[in-house]
Amino acid sequence: MKRKVLITGATGDTGRAAVKEALALGLDVRAMVHGKDERGILRMPVGKGRHSPIAADDQGRAIAALLKNPEEHIGKTIPLSGPVEMDHEQMAEELSEALGRKIVFQDLSIDEYCTSIEAMGVPPYVVQHFRGAMADYQTGHMSGSDNNVEKLTGHRSMTVGEFARAHLDKLNPKKN
Rounded distance between C-alpha atoms, residue 95 and residue 158, angstroms: 13
Percent of the chain with pLDDT over 70: 83
In contact, 37 and 63? CB cutoff 8 Å: no
Using a 10 angstrom Cβ sphere, with 0-12 exposed, 13-18 middle and 19 or more buried, the burial of residue 31 is middle
User: The domain spanning residue 88 has which CATH number?
Assistant: 3.40.50.720
Whether 58 and 141 share a structural domain = yes
Mean of the per-residue pLDDT values of the chain: 86
pLDDT of residue 138: 94
Q: Domain span at residue 136? A: 44-171
Exposed e or buried b for every residue in 78-92, given b needs 16+ CB within 10 A? eebbbbbbbbbeebb
Whether 140 and 162 share a structural domain = yes
Whether 58 and 26 share a structural domain = no
| pLDDT at position 76 over 80 | yes
Rounded distance between C-alpha atoms, residue 7 and residue 30, angstroms: 6
Whether 104 and 70 share a structural domain = yes
6 three-state secondary structure = strand
Whether 14 and 52 share a structural domain = no
Whether 4 and 61 share a structural domain = no
Whether 14 and 71 share a structural domain = no
39 falls within a domain? no
